[in-house]
Every structure is written in structure tokens, then in C-alpha cells.
Amino acid sequence: MSSIYHGQLTVSIFGQSHAPAIGVTVDGLPAGEPVDLEELQVFLNRRAPGTGNWSTPRKEGDQPEFLSGLSQGRTCGAPLTAVIRNTNTRSGDYADLRDIPRPGHADYTAQVKYGGFQDVAGGGHFSGRLTAPLCIAGGICKQMLARRGIWVGAHIAAIGGIWDRAYDPVALSREDLLAPGRTRFSVLAPEAGERMQAAIAAAKADRDSLGGIIECGVVGLPAGLGDPMLDGMENRIARLAFAIPAVKGVEFGAGFGVAALRGSQNNDPFYMDGGQVKTRTNHAGGILGGITNGMPLVFRVAVKPTPSIAQPQDSVSLSRGENTTLEIHGRHDPCIVPRAVPCVEAAAAIAVCDALLEQQRRSELL
Ligand SMILES: Cc1cc2nc3c(=O)[nH]c(=O)nc-3n(C[C@H](O)[C@H](O)[C@H](O)COP(=O)(O)O)c2cc1C
Ligand SMILES: C=C(O[C@@H]1CC(C(=O)O)=C[C@@H](OP(=O)(O)O)[C@H]1O)C(=O)O
């Protein structure tokens, strides 16, 4: 299994949902960066399971223990390793799933690839739980970016077809990005949030689940970050966003909507604003040719409905080679979207921080 992001920063995520611990090693962080552990905990709490009707009832404190890389509240240049102990596992729920794979989860593909040696309990290394260490790395990157005037935020754009107010991609402000994260259910329009929560409750009562869309923005970025072709900002962000289990799509700016537009509608006209080049619209989502253009960077991810639902489902017995019915008895999120909002912020923050470090180190060589 490869769970390593390679760039200026190397982010290596380890552990399984029901192993003694999960964790992350981040290599390449500049020395001397302050890490506010209280602020980091507030960020991790936004993702932690066990609170809210939309969450799995599995309660975990999700308090990181730093084993290396920090000294006197700052990064010390050594690889930073943090672990989170798993304290509330119920592995018996997974006893049947090695033989009878859950539709929509990774049980079947893991069985094929790892020949039965994979850890099935709690989804093993495939679990959404592994986004907690992603958020440790991303939370530290968010703090580094904020000190440089770069702000990352996200909100629930839609759940089950109910839409929140969208970001204004031209006039997106720091406050728009930060406000949803101060509430337990991260939306811009509280009324839309209430309707979404009711829809989740209804799906749960039907022993079903819901999916949705998360919109993420970054403001304060300089123009010129990223590269063409394989190392564009889109590529870098998408690679990290797809590390979040259940993410099935990523679109930047107007995204798939561009397909229905004419060039005259989709092009973002340039204009001068106090010596700065800006665009009047932002269908590009702040990226042209893989490189930031100084406008807000905006992207959305599609999150599928939670695969583990309590309804009986068709599956197969792999040992007997025959069709069967599966009933899942476990503790699952009826909707992954609300808890995945900080995970998307973490993915964006790591990608942007990495690109900035690369840019800085390149220019230092000249
Ligand atoms: C924060 C978070 C929580 C999740 N919770 C659950 C869950 O409770 N039950 C479940 O079946 N899947 C859950 N998932 C999704 C599965 O981990 C994921 O669908 C599975 O690993 C297969 O990966 P894929 O959907 O990317 O193909 C969660 C994902 C995230 C990001
Ligand atoms: C624990 C978390 O979510 C888990 C993600 C998950 C999955 O299959 O992805 C399945 C469930 O695991 P368990 O059966 O052990 O309760 C969720 O609770 C977490 O996100 O921290």
C-alpha cells in the first residue's frame, strides 16, 4: 500500500482504523514554524467522529501525540511524526466481511489485491479514519499559510440535492472561508443546513445514506504558483483530494459546467485594478495552464453516499462462490460530507504549502 505524498513535503500516512494507532510523518517542513496545538485540535475536532446526528456513533478523542519534529512549540527541522490512538473499536462488526464484501466499500478489491492478509476491521487502511492524520498535516500547513496571508476554507455545497449558497468566486473573502468552519455543520446558509440535516435524518431512518459536494476556496495566493502538464495546481490538489475515501470527482472553477458554455461566456476578461491584473469572472477557478493567476482558487469535490448502510444488500460469499445477502451491523456515518469538509481543506492546504515551498526553494537556487 502506498500512502505517501511526495513533494517538497513528504506526507506519509500510516495505521488502520482498528489498529492501536493511526498517524502521519511529515518530512520537509521548514524549521522554526510555530504550531498552535490548540488551534490544531479545534481543526481536528471538526472531523472527529461521535458527535452530531450525521456522524458515526464511534467516539474518538482524536488527540494527536507528537513523537518527533516539534520542539518548544515549533517545528525543529526533523521529520514530524504524530499518532492518534484508536480507543473505541468494535471489530466483531466486521467478522463476516472478509468473506462477504460490502457493496461500495473496498473489501472486495482489498481481498483480491492482498490475498486475505488485509486488515478488514473498521475498513483497515481504507477507512475514512485515516483522514485524521491527513488533517494533522493539513492543519499545520493551514497555520503556515495563514501566517503568510493565505486562507483556506470549505463548506458543504450540497447534500442529497439540497444546495448551500455558493462561494462568489470573484469576491471570495477570508471571512467567507472561515465562517462555516466555526459551526458544527459547515454551511454558509443556516436554513439550507437545516434542510440538509433533515434529509440525512430521513435517509438514516430508511437505513440508507446520502452523498454530496464540498466546495473549497483559497485566497491570498500569489500568481505564478504551480506548473503546466503533470504538476499543475489542479493535479496537485486532485491527487490529495482523492486520498479522501469516498471522493469520486473533483472540478475546478466552472468545472464540468464549462462544457455548456461558449468561449465568449467562459473566458474570464482581464482588467487592471490598482496595478494588479485581475479577471472580471472566475470560471477558471484561479488556475490557467496549471498555474495560479492570483484570483481565488475554487474547486469542488463530489462525495459518494456512505457505502455501509443497514439495508440488506446483494453480495457474494467469496469462499462459497455463490450469491448471498449481506446485512451490515456497524456504526457508520449516514453522510460523510459534513465530516469531510476539514479533510478537503487539509488536502488543499498541503498542496498549496508544498507548491509555495517549491517556488521558494527554486528561486533561492537562482
Ligand atoms: C470522514 C469519512 C468517514 C467515513 N465513514 C464511513 C463509514 O462510516 N462507513 C463507510 O462504509 N464508509 C465510510 N467512509 C467511506 C469509505 O471509507 C470509502 O467509501 C471506502 O474506503 C472505499 O473507498 P472509495 O469510496 O474511495 O472507493 C468514510 C469516509 C470519510 C472520508
Ligand atoms: C472512526 C471513523 O470513521 C469510521 C470510518 C469508516 C469507514 O469505513 O471509512 C467506518 C466506521 O468505522 P467503525 O466501524 O470502526 O466505527 C466509521 O466510524 C473516523 O472517521 O474517525
Q: List the binding residues for NADP(+).
A: 47
In this prediction, the answer to ipTM > 0.95 reads yes
- Determine the pLDDT at residue 329: 87
- Determine the pLDDT at residue 1: 75
Residue nearest to atom 21 of ligand 1 (CA): 126
- Annotate 54-77 with b (16+ C-beta within 10 A) or e (fewer): bbbebebebebebeebbeeeebee
- The verdict on the CB of residue 209 being under 6 Å from ligand 1 is no
What is the grid cell recorded at 238? 486532485
Q: Indicate which CATH number applies to the domain containing 26.
A: 3.60.150.10
Domain span at residue 187 reads 4-365
* Cα 277 to averaged position of ligand 1 atoms, centre (Å): 42
Number of domains in the chain: 1
Which atom of ligand 2 is the closest one to the Cα of 132? 21
Regions of the chain short of the pLDDT cut 70 = none
Q: Evaluate if pTM is beyond 0.90.
A: yes
Q: What is the pLDDT of residues 190-226, one digit of tens each?
A: 999 999 999 999 999 999 999 999 999 999 999 999 9
Q: Which ligand minimizes its atom distance to the CA of 110?
A: 1
Alpha-carbon span 267 to 258, nearest angstrom: 10
Residue nearest to atom 1 of ligand 2 (CA): 129
- Determine the pLDDT at residue 364: 86
* Cα 85 to averaged position of ligand 2 atoms, centre (Å): 14
Q: What is the pLDDT of residues 257-296, one digit of tens each?
A: 999 999 999 999 999 999 999 999 999 999 999 999 999 9
Burial tier of 137 (Cβ tally within 10 Å: 0-12, 13-18, 19+): buried
- Determine the pLDDT at residue 137: 98
Cα dihedral 117, 308, 131, 210, rounded to 10, equals 160
The three-state secondary structure class of 227 is: coil
Q: What is the pLDDT of residues 50-71, one digit of tens each?
A: 999 999 999 999 999 999 999 9
